Structure 1
Amino acid sequence: MKLDKYTVGKRYGKALFELAEEGSETDAVYQSLIILDGVFDEIPDLGNILTDVRLTGDEKEAIMNRLLQNFDGLVKNFLKVVFDYNRIDDVPFMIEEFNRRYDIKNKIAEGTITTAVAITPEKKAEIEAKVAEVFGYQKALLKPLIDESILGGVVVEANHRVLDGSLASQLAGLRAALGK
């Protein structure tokens, strides 16, 4: 039975996190995975290329060696194993699982902040501090999004929790209370 990408990602990401913890390298591995994630963002088909049956083993090896030049230690060895098991196309899911575990360990809430108009960096930092306090985390990292349909206010989604302070939801609540 072939495992889906999500399951593979969870297993490999968990294994990498546990190895990093064992060697007290979680912060260093996390930083390396940020770089690796950036590579996969820049070249979205990299995983497919490295698992493509139309390429020879030597061609794949040359591409992989080029990628490995950017990493060392645990991350480099991890990538070699993932490549050897032909799972390189699942790396983004592995990174996601590692990051999830890293955030839990370090009490970091990641998510989005949606507003009707752009907010200043100062206001974003203020909201992040408040969200961290409300959710009981050390820190909140929120990606700003703009959605004019919320009319005003703020909607924060972090770690599967939502704080909806949008004008649109307040108006909907008012309509419901008035029976309209």
Structure 2
Amino acid sequence: MKLDKYTVGKRYGKALFELAVEKQAIDDIYQDLLTIRQIFKKVPDLGNILSDVRLTGDEKEAIMQKFAQGFEGVVNNFLWVVYEYNRVDDLLFMIDEYERRYDSLNQVALGTITTAVPISKEKQQEIEAKVADIFGYKTANLTPVVDESIIGGVIVEADHQVIDGSLASQLNGLRAALSKK
């Protein structure tokens, strides 16, 4: 049975994080993983290329050599294990899992902030501070999303919870209350 990308990402990311804790290299490995993510942004098909059956083993290994040469120690070994198990196309899922564990350890809440119009950086920081306080984290890192359908207000999703302060939600609640009468 072939595992889906999310399951693979969770397993490998967890294993890497546990090894990073053991080696006391959590931050260094995290920085290397951010670099790898940037490489994948510049070359989005890298994972597919290194998994492509149309390339010979030597061709893929030459590409992998260039890719892995910028990393040392645990990260270099990790990249080669991922390559050997033909999972390079799942690498971003692994990085996501490591980052989720890293943020949890550092008490950083991740999520989104949805508004009808773009908000200023200052307003975003103000909302992030409130969300961190509400959920009991040191900080919150919320990705802004613009969705005109919410009409106005804010929807915050973080730590698997939703704070819905949108005008659309309030109007729907009012509509439901009025329809009961």
Name the TM tier (shorter chain): over 0.9
SS in 2 for 1:51: coil
1:70: Cα distance to partner?
A: 2.7
Provide, for residues 38-95 of structure 1, a one-character-per-residue CA deviation record: whole Å limited to 9, x for no partner.
2223322211110111111121112111211332221111101111121111111111
- Other-structure match for 1:89: 89
Question: Tell me, what secondary structure is at the counterpart of 1:118?
Answer: coil
Q: What amino acid does structure 2 have at the position aligned with 1:57? A: G
Query: For the residues of structure 2 that align with 1:146 and 1:96, how far apart are their CA atoms?
Result: 23
Match of 1:157 in 2: 157
Q: Secondary structure at the match of 1:33?
A: helix
Alignment-derived partner of residue 64 in structure 2 = 64
Moved more, 125-134 or 24-33: 24-33
Q: How does 1:1-180 map to 2 (within 5 A)?
A: 1-179=1-179
Partner Cα distance (1:53, 1:90) in 2: 16
| Counterparts of 1:161 and 1:59, CA distance in 2 | 46
Question: Separation in 1 of the partners of 2:178 and 2:42?
Answer: 50
65-74 or 123-132, which deviates more: 65-74
The Cα offsets for residues 109-142 of structure 1, whole Å up to 9 and x where unpaired, read as: 1111111111111111000000000011111001
Greater alpha carbon shift after TM alignment, 126-135 vs 61-70: 61-70
Q: Count matched residues.
A: 180
Q: Deviations over 1:6-62 (max 9, x none)?
A: 222111111100000011111111111111112223322211110111111121112
Taking structure 2 as the reference length, what is the TM-score of the superposition? Answer: 0.94
Amino acid at match of 2:6: Y
One-letter amino acid matched to 1:56: T
Q: Which amino acid aligns with 1:117?
A: V
Name the stretch that deviates more: 40-49 or 155-164: 40-49
Gaps of 5+ in 2: none
Q: Percent identity?
A: 67
Q: Normalising by the residue count of structure 1, what TM-score does the alignment of the two structures yield?
A: 0.95
Aligned partners of 2:157, 2:66: CA distance in 1, in Å?
38
CA distance in 2, matches of 1:14, 1:171: 43
Structure 1: runs of 5+ lacking an equivalent: none
